[in-house]
Amino acid sequence: MASEKRTIVLTGASDGIGAIAARALSGPSTNLILVGRSPQKLAPIAAETGATSFTADFADLAQVRDLAAQISGSVESIDVLMNNAGGTFDHKDRTADGHEPNFQINHLAPFLLTHLLRDRLAAAGSSLVLNTASVGNLAGSVDFDDLDFEKRRALALRPYGTAKLMNIQFTRGISQRWSDDKIYSAAVHPGPAATSFGRDSRFVGLAYRSPITRLVTITPEQGAAPLIALAERGADPSVNGVYFSRHKPNGLENRQAHDQKLIDGLWEKSAELTGLN
């Protein structure tokens, strides 16, 4: 069983809502492990919160495997895994593994990390995997013949929205497959927080930082609040498989989000692409 001190692993912790969540979740009752891409940006957050920190670039799956080994070597169990790392990326770029970056960084990398940490999640007695998704899932479309957008037109937010749709499908996959180990999973749309989101995509970055957009965005603190609340709630079976739109369960979802063939197919394809089967 887990000790009284909870272990929380939070990716994407070096800025934005991740850094705010790190500050809020830190404390004497929490063993906090933070993950970021930039050691320079992550170091002050880790120092401020007293957390253990590891760096990894999710555009390189070898780094994700190393990260999982480092985390597993530092803890015996994990109570909450917060898959928060991600963003919007230029679909024309390719990762070190040859994938479309929205697909790999937002989906494949956390899929791999979560699987490699499954034994630590199970060791907690009951645990929660929390995936940061987005209302952008409505713009997504999962096509197993073109997961890397080599054939389809990658209009506007479609590659990002597709990856966020996959986050919800992955959440459902965990809820269906791992509940016997009392590993539960939820997905959450934090809201349109005014952060550095979109910095890696010229189109989205310009749109997100326009004066008009600022009128409809919420503060980073407001954006982090649903993640913090769900992390503090922890391994609650009632959230298992649920997609939250901020604090409200059952947010607006793409019709593919509940398609069982797609949920199963994505799980199998992702396992194949990450070398898990």
Residue 160 known to be catalytic = yes
What's the pLDDT score for residue 192? 86
DSSP class of 106: I
Give the active site residue among 160, 184, 208, 243.
Answer: 160
Distance between CA atoms of residues 170 and 108, nearest Å? 10
Amino acid code (one letter) for 211: P
What's the pLDDT score for residue 216? 59
Which residues of the chain are modeled with pLDDT < 50? 1-3, 196-201, 203-215
What's the pLDDT score for residue 212? 44
What's the pLDDT score for residue 261? 98
What's the pLDDT score for residue 181? 97
pLDDT digits (tens, 9 = 90+) for 160-196: 999 999 999 999 999 999 999 999 999 999 998 765 4
What's the pLDDT score for residue 194? 67
Q: Which of 65, 58, 80, 77 is nearest to 14 (CA)?
A: 58
What's the pLDDT score for residue 101? 97
Q: Which of 32, 51, 41 is nearest to 14 (CA)?
A: 41
Q: Which of 10, 9, 57, 14 is nearest to 195 (CA)?
A: 14
pLDDT digits (tens, 9 = 90+) for 20-62: 999 999 999 999 999 999 999 999 999 999 999 999 999 999 9
What's the pLDDT score for residue 210? 46
Tell me the backbone φ, ψ of residue 248, rounded to 5 degrees.
-95, 125
How, if at all, do strands 183-189 and 248-249 pair? unpaired
What's the pLDDT score for residue 228? 98
